Every structure is written in C-alpha cells, then in structure tokens.
Amino acid sequence: MAPSPTFNSSGPLVQPDMALDDFLESFWTSRMELAESEDPDFKHHVLPLARIKKVMKSDEDVQMISAEAPIIFSRACELFISELTCRSYLVAEAAKRKTLQRADVGKATAGSDQFDFLLDCDVAGTGGFAGGKAAPPTGVDGGEKSKGPKKGKKRKSSGGNGEDDD
C-alpha cells in the first residue's frame, strides 16, 4: 500500500509545553506549505471514501455527489482530526497526563467557538446532551445492545412454532 498522501515525517505536530496560539500558527502554516508542495495521490486516502460518501448521502437533500467531493471531505476530515487531537493533547499535557480523555476533547472544543457544532455531541462527557436531554441509547440502530441468549441455550418461541425468536 502506498504511503498516505498527507503523511508528514518531519516530526510531531505539537510539542510539549507549546502554547495554543503558537501551535495553531505552526500547525496551519505547516499544513498550508504541505498542501502547496505535495503531489496529491488521488488513488490512496487515509479515510475510506465509500464511508464518507455514505455519510454524505445520509442527508436527504443530497441527490448526487461528484467524484471529487468525497476526496475533499476526506482531506478536510484529516485536518479536523489532526487539529482536534493536538488541541486535546495540549489540554491533557497541561493536566500532566499523556493519555487523552474525553474531557480533554471537551475542554479543547470549549476553547473555540468554531467547535460549537459539537456541543450537541456531549464531548465534555457531562452525561447529558445539550438542553438537558438524555444521551441517546447505544447499540445498533439506536437501540440498547442486548446480550442475547447464552451460547448453548435456546429461547422458547412465544409463537409456538418451535423456532427460535431472533
């Protein structure tokens, strides 16, 4: 497999004890320089384009998607993930930790209004969503995960047809 088109082997994106303003300036300067100097490889991507296209199609207003759109969204997602991870690292490092926690992401997003769209996601880990609503259920299709019957045991059918209910 070919290396990532946006892989930068020049070192870490953020240094210990770096101020947020210094990080943001160096991050975006290096990302712009990389974008201007790289020879894009449109065949290999860090994020799966099929998944991005599926998310784009989940909006009922989206009728058609050009071939270039998922590639651009993929690159935008890479930048978003990189910046948010580095911001979260700075929060964790300020707390003298090396492990990122959910609260670090929440504090990193609270520091900038550009992340206000994440308020509904409860990234701070407060246990509730915006507006005091309860968190959505977990599991497939929004339902609670069920453990199901233990292996080796069958549930009795309520329909009386001798088959298992699944």
Q: On the CB side of 17, how many CA atoms lie within 13 Å of its CA? A: 0
- The answer, yes or no, to whether residue 134 has pLDDT greater than 70, is no
Does residue 2 belong to any structural domain of this protein?
Answer: no
Does residue 62 belong to any structural domain of this protein?
Answer: yes
The residue written with tokens 């308020």 in the block is: 119
Does residue 107 belong to any structural domain of this protein?
Answer: no
Does residue 103 belong to any structural domain of this protein?
Answer: no
pLDDT of residue 96: 93
Does residue 127 belong to any structural domain of this protein?
Answer: no
| pLDDT band (50, 70, 90) for residue 14 | confident
Does residue 133 belong to any structural domain of this protein?
Answer: no
pLDDT of residue 111: 76
**Digit-coded pLDDT (tens) for 22-45:** 888 888 888 888 888 888 777 778
Structural domain for 92, as ranges = 20-96
Instruction: Specify whether the CB–CB gap between 56 and 70 falls below 8 A.
Output: yes
Does residue 87 belong to any structural domain of this protein?
Answer: yes
Instruction: Specify whether the CB–CB gap between 140 and 149 falls below 8 A.
Output: no
Q: pTM higher than 0.85, yes or no?
A: no
What DSSP character marks residue 70? H
Number of domains in the chain: 1
Does residue 142 belong to any structural domain of this protein?
Answer: no
85-104 average pLDDT score: 91
Ramachandran region of residue 101, left (φ > 0), alpha (ψ -120 to 50) or beta?
A: beta
CATH of the domain at 40: 1.10.20.10
